[in-house]
Amino acid sequence: MNSWKDITPPSQFCFSANISLSPGSNLPHNLWVTLVRLRTGVGRFASNMCQWGLRETALCICGKENHTAHHIIYHCEALGPPNSLDDLVSPGPEGVGWTDL
């Protein structure tokens, strides 16, 4: 019954943790959180807040569509990133300033 203890030393795990953070993890916390929210689509977007009962409307300030992460990234002329998806993948100086929504 104790033969498994002979095979695996008690200080070793049966798996190895291979953890790597997304680009932008070196940014200040508030910018990192904004990028994560945009990447995941979960955050304080008007569409979510409307579902949660915190806003009356889900409409974006541009007036064209509901305020979602997808809309901001791909369609919104008022809030969209200056360099499209590049600002989410590798945020540069312009991209970092853009996240101050």
Q: Across the 101 residues of the chain, what is the mean pLDDT of every consecutive 10-residue run?
A: 59 63 78 83 92 94 91 87 68 61 49
- Average per-residue pLDDT in the chain? 77
Is pTM beyond 0.85? Reply is no
For residue 73 the two structure tokens come to 């990234």
What does the pLDDT read at residue 6? 62
**Rounded to 5°, angle at Cα 98 from 96 and 100:** 85
Residue 28 CA to residue 31 CA, distance in Å, equals: 6
DSSP string covering 41-65, please? T-SS-HHHHHHTTS-S--B-TTSSS
Residue 32 CA to residue 61 CA, distance in Å, equals: 23
